[in-house]
Homo-oligomer: A and B are copies of this chain.
Amino acid sequence: MTKIAELPRNEAGIAVALDELAAAFGERLLTGQAICEQHGHTTTWIDTQAPDGVIMATSTEDVSRAVSICAAHKVPVIAFGTGTSLEGHVNAPAGGICIDLMEMNQIVAVNAGDLDCRVQPGVTREALNTHLRDQGLFFPIDPGANASLGGMTATRASGTNAVRYGTMKDNVLSLEVVLADGRVIRTGGRARKSSAGYDLTRLMVGSEGTLGIITEITLRLQGIPEAISSARCSFPTVQAACETVMAVIQYGLPVARIELLDADVVKAVNAYSKLTLPGTPLLLLEFHGSEAGVVEQAETFGMLAEEFGGNGYAATTTAEERNKLWQARHDAYWAIVGLRPGCKAVATDVCVPISRFAEAVTAAQARAAELGLIAPIVGHAGDGNFHASLLVDMENAEEVARGEAFVKWLAELAISMDGTCTGEHGIGQGKRSYLTKEMGGAVDVMVTVKAALDPHNILNPGKILPE
């Protein structure tokens, strides 16, 4: 595993804080080794760094109280959801206290007339959508994992629907946040737009628990579309598929999803999900709209795809076929992992302007081959965001080094294209070294904001900002 350096521990402070937290929370403070390690463990190739204790919070007051105790003794505080982040976000490099928010899982209110809802941070996106379905509503943001909405907010997550519905930044109306000294603020109300002062909502979205701990989220919702249809189309090359995506975006076709699977992924998916897709690059699409609208969208897409050599184009509106195709897409991670059992799948996450997408994807394929690496690619093509999933034997130090070289090369490629090293996973520990390359002097402003809002650096230290 990749090791991230530990930070100095405030042993005396941690000991006193643990005593005070035990008095305040009783059995809801957990300090067993297994539970602590579990709370530093995520879907990442970065080594676990366990906290010293875990608070099972059940209310905003709990979070405020726990943070206040930690603040008094300058002890790190790390928020925890489903543990599905990918860049070591929940590691505790200086030890400290993890606040587990998964018992704060209430859907506080659904305002169907306003297409919004208020949820606690431990509600998962699937739990929310299950709750909403009977009201004809849904929440569109869908990262691969069934992540908590608090974690999704904290990492500015997105997923396959972002091309149509945006990312968490576009779908959070306002937040309740516990600050570094335990104060509780609300960053806004339920108006659909506002020009009232600084946009603290967006400052907190994507701040990865380093500026505050999110204890309630007001989300925008969507009505379930009258009709949904899916389509798939194979292409002779990644280039041809990407050019089709560019044409779709420029045409203004309001696709809800447009996903790229490269030939390696298609073959893996065929094997894993027992499908018979042609073993060439594939675009998988979804259209949302009226009955007539989705038919028209699918036809327009078919016409555009044909211009770029698309073949085997098939559209469907039956839920069964649609679900089968999208299930295959959602299982792509496991299909990829299955290509090399025993290896770790290391997710990369670059995002580039659409006009550079084909170039970036093909360059990534070529570079992986040069380095002797297996790195199948899936992409949220409509956003220019793609994941090359490196399959690395973590026991083989030389191969790990090649993997690290690829990850670095890819991040720098995206930055050189006016893109980003992370489209949706966040910086965490894993991408800190790229932030300054990407953002330059803006990082100093981030450091200033962090120092102002968390002067003792207790909120998720060692994340996002350079050392």
Interface residues of A (CB under 8 A from B): 111-116, 155-158, 162, 166-167, 169-170, 179, 183-200, 202-203, 205-207, 211, 222-223, 225-226, 246, 249-252, 254, 289-290, 292-293, 296, 300, 349, 351-355, 383-385, 414-415, 418-427, 431, 434-435, 438-446, 448-453, 464-465
Contact = CB atoms under 8 A, between A and B. Distances in A.
B191 A156 contact: no
Given A115-B250, A191-B351, A202-B203, 13 more contacts: A156-B193, A166-B193, A185-B442, A189-B418, A190-B418, A191-B423, A193-B423, A194-B420, A197-B464, A198-B206, A199-B199, A289-B293, A290-B300
A193 to B, nearest CB: 5
Contacts of A414: 191
Nearest to A157: B195
A438 B189 contact: yes
Contacts of A249: 115
Stoichiometry, copies per complex = 2
B446 A198 contact: yes
Q: Which of A225, A354, A424 has the most CB of B within 10 A?
A: A354
A193 B158 contact: yes
A195 B411 CA distance: 13
A249 B137 CA distance: 12
A2 to B, nearest CB: 19
B206 A384 contact: no
B354 A445 contact: no
Given A112-B250, A190-B418, A246-B113, A438 B195 contact: no
A198 B451 CA distance: 13
A364 B431 CA distance: 52
Contacts of A200: 442, 445-446
The 3 closest A-B pairs by CB, nearest first: A202-B202, A452-B452, A113-B355
Contacts of A431: 196
Contacts of A202: 169, 199, 202-203
B426 A193 contact: no
A450 B155 CA distance: 24
26 contacts: A113-B250, A113-B355, A158-B193, A166-B193, A170-B170, A183-B444, A185-B441, A185-B442, A186-B441, A187-B442, A189-B415, A189-B418, A192-B385, A193-B351, A194-B420, A197-B442, A197-B465, A198-B206, A198-B446, A200-B442, A200-B445, A200-B446, A223-B250, A223-B251, A225-B252, A226-B252
